[in-house]
Structure 1
C-alpha cells in the first residue's frame, strides 16, 4: 500500500516552469493512465508543422478578472480527519502537498470554513448555544471553542505554508434562539434578531482574527433558499437579505472598521434572480463585494449575465461536491474541469472551491445531509491511507499553475471537442487549460504573440500547458 501511495504522489512532483520558447504540458486522462503527468517539453513549431490543425489562439490583450485561487472547504469533518487520523509527519506532508508550491504542491490558495456546524460536522452546534432555549442578546455565550479544536489549527497550518491563502466563512444557521423554529434545523431569522446577528458576525470576524484565522470573505447564509430537514439550515429570502446587508451589517462593519468582503447568495446556478434582486437594493449593493455560486442545480452559464450586469462585483464558485452519484473517474473528472475550472472562471469566477477537502472511506463523518459525497481526498479512518480523487486532479490542473493575482486572458470557449480557458500569471507566464471531451485523441495548435506550438490530448483528457 505504501508503495502505491508513493507512486501516486510521484505523479505530481514535477514543478511547473515557464520558458519563452518551450511549451510545458501536464495531462490527466479519463482512464487514469496519466495523472497530472508531465509531458516532454516542445519547442516553437513552424507554420508548416501546424498547418491544417485546429488553432487555440491565446490573446494576452483580452483581460478579464484576476484570480484569488482554487481549493476546497476545511469542514469540521475534513479537519477532524486531518488532525486525528494522520501522524504529525503525514499531516505536515499532506498540508504541504495541498497548500505548498514547491516539489509539486497543488498550491491551493482559497478555502472555506463554516461558522458553526454543517452536515459535515460531528454533531450540531452554533457559536452561541444557550441552555434551555434562552436568548443571548449580549452574546455572552459566544465561543470559538469548537472551531479551535480542529478547524482553526488546520487553517493556521495551511496559512503558515501558504500565506496567500484566502479564507471564506459561511454559517449554515443562525444560533437557534435567533430563529423562528428555536432550532438549528429549518426556520428563518426572527426580525428582532437582525441587529444582534450583525453583532454576531462582527464578533466572529474579530475573535477569529485574534487567534490567527482571517475572514477575507463572508457570506451570511449557506444556501438561503433551502431548509434541510436533518442538519442546520435557514431560509432567508432576497429582499430580507438585502435589508439585513443595508440596515444592519453594513453599519456594524463600518463602525467597527471591519474590512471583510461580503458575498451574497452562496447557492445554486438555478436562481440568478435572487442575487440580482439583492444587488438591485442600493444600500445592499453599496456594501456587497459580490456573489457566490454553488453547482448543484442550474447551469454554469447563469453566472455570465450576472457578471456582465455587475462588472464592479466579484464572482466566486464557493461549493461543489463530487459523489457516488457520479462514481466513474472519467465522467466526473471531465464534468469538473468543464464546468468548474473552465466554465466558472469563464463566467467571471475569481475563485473556485470544492466542498470537503477530505472525507473518510464511508464519505463522512457527517451529521445528516449527504451520505455519499466525495472529498478531494479520502483518508482511511483506520490506517490513515490517503487516496487522491478525481476532484484532486481536476483542481490540480488549475491550482498548481494559475497563481494568485493571475489574470484570465482570451482563448476560445469551444473548438470542436476542445474546451479552453487561459490565464497570465503576474510573472508573465501563460497558462492554458484544455479539456478534450471527445472520444478521439485531438491534435491542435496553440498560438500567442506570434509564437505557435503543436500539442495533443488523448480522448477524455485534460491538459495544462505553460510557456
Structure 2
C-alpha cells in the first residue's frame, strides 16, 4: 500500500478552525459522497523534509475560475426537460452554494460545430459597413441560455470566439474550411463585425468581457471553421485592425490571443514578440493540445493564460475519460493556467453535432425519457470548481506529486484535490501545522479536502 503524505507549513492563522476537514469523494459507483467531518491529530515526529510540504507563502498563479461553453444544441436539449429538471441542471452547473459554481464561460460568436446550423450575424455579401449586422437569432438561443445560468451565478462573466466569419469574407465562400480573405477591406470589416458583436451582446445584458479572434486558427474541418494560414496574418489583424478599432471606439472588452490548438512556440513568438500587436493582447487562450507550450509562454510572456477547451472525446462519457480530464486539469493548472474550461456543458444522449459527430458533455439529456444524468467529467470539474474559489492561489509544494494539487482560497481555507487512479486503496496523509489527517482513498476515486472552513 503506497502512502502519500502532504505537509503544510505557515498555517497557524487558522487556529482551531484548522482542526476541521470537509471531505467529498467520487467513484464510478458512488458519486459525490460527503463524508463525516474529519479531525486533525497530532503528527508524531513533527514536520520534516521527507513530507510533501506546502508553504502557504509560496504562491503560484491566482485562479480566476471555471466554466464551459454555451451552445445551441445544449439549449435545445434542455428544452426537452420539464421546468423543474431544467432548473436542476442549471443549478448543478452554476449555483454558487450547492452547484459546480461555474463563474466564467465561453460562448461562440455565431455558429460553432454545436450550433443548430451554420450562420453569421451578417450574411449579406459585401456589407463592409455591417448595416445588416444582427444578433436576433442569439436572442432566442444562446442569450437565454446565458441568462438562465446567470440566475444561479449572478457574477458570471463570458468570453467569446468565432468559428467562422461570414462566408462572403472567406476564400471559399463557405462556413466550413477556407480562410479569411487577407485583404485590407475584409480585415477592416471583420474588426467592425467583432466590435459590433461585443457592443450588441453587452446591450443585451450579457457580461461579455473578452473575445479571442479565432477558434482553432490552424484547423480545417467540415463544420464552421476558418484557417489563418500563418501567425503573421493574425498578428497583422490584431495590430492594424482589431486592436486599433477597439481602442479608438473604447470597446469595453479585452482581446486575448486564442483559442490556440498547437504548441509551436514560433507561432506565438511571431505575434507576441511584435510589441505593437502584443500591446493589444490581454491574455492567452490555449486548448487541450497546447500543453507543451505552457512552460515557454509562462517563462517569456507576462500574460494570464486560460485553458479554453478540454478534450472533447467521442460522446461515450467514460470513467477513463474523466481520469484523463483530471490529468489535463492537473497539467494545465500546474503549467500556469488561471482558468479551466469544459466544452459542451449539456448535450442529448447522442452527443451529436449538426455535422454528425459525437462529443462528451457534463450533462446528458435523455430525450426519449426526458431525464438527465451527470457524466464522470462533470464530477472531475466539480471537485475543483466547488471548492476552489475565484481569487484562490495555487500553492507550490517542495516536491512534485501527480496525484494532489493544493490551493488557498481568499478566505484562507485550503482545498486539496487528490486522485487515486489505481486499482487498490491508498493511504493519504495530510500534515498541517503539526497536525495530521490520515485517510484511505478508495480505488479509482477523486477526492477534495477543504481545510479550515
Settle same-fold status: TM greater than 0.5.
yes
Match of 1:382 among 363, 368, 393: 368
Whether 1:177 and 2:161 are equivalent positions in the alignment is no
Checking the alignment, whether the CA contact within 8 Å between 2:315 and 2:360 is kept in structure 1 is: no
Q: CA deviation at 1:357?
A: 0.8
Q: CA deviation at 1:95?
A: 1.2
2: CA distance between counterparts of 1:53 and 1:41? 28
Match of 2:404 among 420, 431, 435: 420
Q: CA deviation at 1:267?
A: 2.6
> Any residues of structure 2 matched to 1:147-186 within 5 Å, and which?
147-186=138-177
Residue by residue over 1:264-317, the C-alpha shift from the partner in whole angstroms, topping out at 9 and shown as x without a partner, is: 13132433432232111111111101111111x46x34322212221x211011
Shift in alpha-carbon separation, 1:360–1:413, aligned structure 2, 3 A: farther
What is the DSSP-based 3-state SS (H/G/I as helix, E as strand, rest coil) of the residue aligned with 2:145? helix
> Which residue is equivalent to 1:26?
24
> Which residue is equivalent to 2:66?
70
Whether 1:349 and 2:344 are equivalent positions in the alignment is no
2: CA distance between counterparts of 1:307 and 1:429? 27
Match of 1:314 among 304, 308, 313: 304
2: CA distance between counterparts of 1:433 and 1:456? 14
1: CA distance between counterparts of 2:205 and 2:223? 28
Match of 2:227 among 235, 245, 250: 235
What is the DSSP-based 3-state SS (H/G/I as helix, E as strand, rest coil) of the residue aligned with 1:216? strand
Q: CA deviation at 1:74?
A: 0.8
Match of 1:99 among 90, 94, 99: 94
1: CA distance between counterparts of 2:355 and 2:163? 13
2: CA distance between counterparts of 1:49 and 1:37? 33
Shift in alpha-carbon separation, 1:392–1:50, aligned structure 2, 3 A: farther
1: CA distance between counterparts of 2:136 and 2:47? 64
* Count of residues in correspondence between the two structures: 433
Alignment root-mean-square deviation, CA: 2.2
Q: CA deviation at 1:325?
A: 7.4
Match of 2:321 among 325, 332, 355: 332
2: CA distance between counterparts of 1:429 and 1:245? 41
What is the DSSP-based 3-state SS (H/G/I as helix, E as strand, rest coil) of the residue aligned with 1:58? strand
Shift in alpha-carbon separation, 1:51–1:65, aligned structure 2, 3 A: closer
Checking the alignment, whether the CA contact within 8 Å between 1:246 and 1:283 is kept in structure 2 is: yes
> Any residues of structure 2 matched to 1:262-277 within 5 Å, and which?
262-277=255-270
What is the DSSP-based 3-state SS (H/G/I as helix, E as strand, rest coil) of the residue aligned with 1:144? coil
What is the DSSP-based 3-state SS (H/G/I as helix, E as strand, rest coil) of the residue aligned with 2:225? coil
> Which residue is equivalent to 1:119?
113
Q: CA deviation at 1:58?
A: 2.3
2: CA distance between counterparts of 1:53 and 1:387? 45
449-458 or 259-268, which deviates more: 449-458
2: CA distance between counterparts of 1:290 and 1:455? 40
> Which residue is equivalent to 2:76?
80
1: CA distance between counterparts of 2:261 and 2:431? 36
**Unpaired segments ≥5 residues, structure 1:** 1-17
Shift in alpha-carbon separation, 1:49–1:396, aligned structure 2, 3 A: farther
What is the DSSP-based 3-state SS (H/G/I as helix, E as strand, rest coil) of the residue aligned with 2:137? helix
**Unpaired segments ≥5 residues, structure 2:** 1-15
Checking the alignment, whether the CA contact within 8 Å between 2:317 and 2:361 is kept in structure 1 is: no
Shift in alpha-carbon separation, 1:391–1:266, aligned structure 2, 3 A: same
Q: CA deviation at 1:135?
A: 0.9
Residue by residue over 1:196-220, the C-alpha shift from the partner in whole angstroms, topping out at 9 and shown as x without a partner, is: 1111111110110001112212111
What is the DSSP-based 3-state SS (H/G/I as helix, E as strand, rest coil) of the residue aligned with 2:260? strand
2: CA distance between counterparts of 1:358 and 1:413? 38
2: CA distance between counterparts of 1:147 and 1:54? 56
Residue by residue over 1:63-111, the C-alpha shift from the partner in whole angstroms, topping out at 9 and shown as x without a partner, is: 12221211211111112222x2122232222212211122x21111121
Q: CA deviation at 1:419?
A: 1.7
2: CA distance between counterparts of 1:379 and 1:344? 29
Checking the alignment, whether the CA contact within 8 Å between 1:338 and 1:435 is kept in structure 2 is: no
Q: CA deviation at 1:251?
A: 1.1
Shift in alpha-carbon separation, 1:85–1:55, aligned structure 2, 3 A: farther
Shift in alpha-carbon separation, 1:385–1:413, aligned structure 2, 3 A: farther
> Which residue is equivalent to 1:208?
201
285-294 or 271-280, which deviates more: 271-280
What is the DSSP-based 3-state SS (H/G/I as helix, E as strand, rest coil) of the residue aligned with 2:155? coil
Residue by residue over 1:11-46, the C-alpha shift from the partner in whole angstroms, topping out at 9 and shown as x without a partner, is: xxxxxxx942112111112xx132121122221222
Shift in alpha-carbon separation, 1:328–1:320, aligned structure 2, 3 A: same
> Which residue is equivalent to 1:368?
355
Match of 1:282 among 261, 275, 296: 275
218-227 or 151-160, which deviates more: 151-160
> Which residue is equivalent to 1:466?
450
237-246 or 318-327, which deviates more: 318-327
1: CA distance between counterparts of 2:30 and 2:295? 33
Q: CA deviation at 1:50?
A: 9.2
Match of 2:377 among 368, 379, 391: 391
